[in-house]
Chains A and B, each alone.
Chain A
Amino acid sequence: MTHASMAAPAPKTEPNPTPVTPVRNSGRYLYAATVILLCAWVLVPLYFLLVNTLSSPEQVSTFPKSFIPEFDLGSLQFFAGFQGILNALKNSIIVASMTMVMSILFGAPAGYALSRFEFRGKETFRVLILLTRAFPLPLLALPLAVLFIRTGLDDTTFGLALVHTTLALPFAVLITFSLFSGIPVELEEAAWTLGCTRFTAFTKVVLPLILPGITASAIFAFVISWNEVFAAAVLTIENRTLTAFLLQTLGEAPLHLKFAGGFILVVPALIFIFAVRKYLFSMWGIANR
């Protein structure tokens, strides 16, 4: 916004004006327009999702739409009462929680090792971590399903949590790697000279310093699991998570149920991602402090 207001008066007041060419000005407008367009791209659907969720079931299918939600909880009530939905919601929470715990349990030590120790194949290991995301899930779905049926892991929340952990683990490793790297090794060394073992130095010095970041990483893992639909749809039948359940019932469900379901899915993810955005930026190497 400041670009436009600053640009306009400048050529008139300055005695020897730097030429503000039309090209430069139009570049600014293009920039602003792109920003607005991209924001709208994300925000407008979310807004309609909100409006429809807070409309009564009858209002949802009418046209034209009002831009102000009428704050009718009818759709949400219908959603809560729908057969199997609460069970799916419960499954989603269980799977996401297990994913969260497991990805931190395995990811944080890997991140610590990457940031603190020199070992052979360290760079290869880092690339391999990312490479786990190189195989599309549909490619893996069939062998996974066969394997799960053989081992009896099919249609269990734990089995699904394992798959989701695999998806979340690379991010957990990379986020914790950047967290640990941000803590000077001298802090740990100072703790060792002051009577700490490697373990107590970690719990007394490193852990308090990275706890917020670990939390963020955990929440991110939760969101990955919460949003995942493909593996959930393929690997579960009875114990469906919310995403898989909604996908299954998408065809037959009434419109207001879809809106309410979408809303319930989007809101926690949005809130969580907003809460941990600082750490996601740091993972991607964007200076943000």
Chain B
Amino acid sequence: MRGDLQKDTNDMAEIQIKNVAKTFGAYQALHSIDLAIADQEFMVLLGASGCGKTTLLRIIAGLETASIGEVWIGGRRVDHLAPKDRGIAMVFQNYAVFPHLTVFENIGFGLRMAKMPNDEVKRRVERTASLMHIEQLLKRYSGELSGGQRQRVAVARALAMEPDVILMDEPLSNLDALLRLEMRAELKGVLAESKTTAIYVTHDQVEAMSLADRISVMHQGRIIQAASPIEVYRNPAAQFVAGFLGNPPMNFLRAEKAGDGKWNVAGETVDGPRGAEAPLQFAIRPEDMQIADQGLPAQVRLVEPLGAHLLVTCDVDGTMLRAVLDSDLSLKAGDHIKLAPQPDRVRWFDPETTKAVA
């Protein structure tokens, strides 16, 4: 969106965030964030509320100023520019569809501000409206639209700008579950087609996993890990990531050193890291365990049949551990079982630093 607003597809719209921090009074909302987002990448900022993900997005948009640090978009430093000069478009959580304008004028608002000729406005509005399947709503006002339709208008309005970067702040969180699923798939298709760099803020891990090229997991104003969804899921860089992603989340058990590369977990000896000396956290995902003759001794406490599988909560050496098991098993509370973790899926964390240990 430079000059004539036409997106030049050769134009690189990579984003660099260099050492950005933000304080609100005495409260440090962001600590020294460094993040690079590639051209046309779909980056999801994931974290619980209050982790600073929305603040970071608003700093990129120019709606909030960073206390220190730089923001670069497409090789241009933008942190001192007004939002309108940054080549971004934004979709807000509550849609922010202008109530005094028709859907057509909402989608064309940015184009009119850029003094685009009428026929070009009409062409672009109609194209983005058909992309979002709202052609039939163009004459309506926002008061006459459902939540899902307003969401579509908000996305169409952002896309019509043909921005370098599209920023989305929990755009699906106000929709009901079924509609959210439908819009999620649609959004992914539309954004892939538009070849726009996207930054998407959410607290919903399923949304993050399904949409992202890369996920940045944020916690207490820091980016804990930025990697592909499967990497974040399989190889969490820190205990927080392991506990935040996955439903149910990863299990942790205390492990004592039992020899070179051998660790004692709940009375069983398991192969583990060689370098470490102090006790570690043994971690395993619920779905990466199965019942076997050899394994961690567990007493079943609760069995929840979920149809596709069985969610079993058991007591392993005084720690609650959850396993996702085959739904054909007949288990009941009080049963003693042995759970064998899949060796290549076991991860280790240092309880002091909470970081992963190889």
Contact = CB atoms under 8 A, between A and B. Distances in A.
Interface in A197-239: 197, 200, 204-205, 208-209
B84 A197 contact: yes
Given A208-B100, A209-B99, A194 B94 contact: no
B210 to A, nearest CB: 26
Contacts of B100: 205, 208-209
B240 interface: no
Given A196-B113, A205-B98, A190 B90 contact: yes
A195 B110 contact: yes
B92 interface: yes
Interface string A120-137: 000000000000000000
A8 to B, nearest CB: 42
B62 to A, nearest CB: 8
Interface in B89-132: 89-90, 92-94, 96, 98-100, 109-110, 113-114
A186 B96 CA distance: 6
Contact of A190 (B62, B82, B92, B114): B92
Interface in A226-281: none
B123 to A, nearest CB: 18
B157 interface: yes
Nearest to B91: A190
Nearest to A200: B113
Interface string B154-169: 0001000100000100
Contacts of B13: none
B9 to A, nearest CB: 21
Interface string B56-85: 000001110000000000000000001110
Given A195-B114, A200-B113, A187 B96 contact: yes
Nearest to A198: B82
B270 interface: no
A195 B90 CA distance: 12
A187 B167 CA distance: 16
A192 B94 contact: no
**Interface hub of A186, A192, A194 (most chain B Cβ within 10 A):** A194
Interface residues of B, number: 23
B94 A193 contact: no
B110 A194 contact: yes
Interface residues of A, number: 17
A186 B89 CA distance: 13
Given A184-B94, A186-B96, A205-B98, A194 B89 contact: yes
Contact of B161 (A192, A194, A197, A205): A194
B113 A189 contact: no
A51 B167 CA distance: 66
A189 B92 contact: yes
Contacts of A145: none
A193 B99 contact: no
B68 to A, nearest CB: 21
A191 to B, nearest CB: 7
Contacts of A195: 84, 110, 113-114, 161
B88 interface: yes
A192 B96 contact: no
A208 B105 CA distance: 14
Given A184-B96, A186-B96, A209-B99, A193 B113 contact: no
Nearest to A188: B96
A191 B99 contact: no
Contacts of B167: 193
A209 B142 CA distance: 13
B82 A197 contact: yes
Nearest to A211: B100
A200 B113 CA distance: 9
Contact of A193 (B83, B93, B98): B83
Interface string A50-70: 000000000000000000000
A189 B63 contact: yes
Contact of A191 (B88, B93, B109): B109
A195 B111 CA distance: 8
B84 A192 contact: yes
Contacts of A190: 90, 92, 96, 98, 157
Interface in A107-159: none
A200 B112 CA distance: 12
A200 B63 CA distance: 16
Interface of B: 61-63, 82-84, 88-90, 92-94, 96, 98-100, 109-110, 113-114, 157, 161, 167
8 contacts: A184-B96, A187-B96, A187-B98, A190-B92, A190-B157, A193-B63, A195-B114, A200-B113
Interface of A: 184, 186-187, 189-197, 200, 204-205, 208-209
Closest 4 CB pairs of A and B: A195-B113, A194-B110, A190-B96, A186-B96
Given A193-B89, A197-B84, 12 more contacts: A187-B98, A189-B63, A189-B83, A192-B63, A192-B84, A193-B90, A194-B89, A194-B110, A195-B110, A195-B113, A200-B113, A208-B100
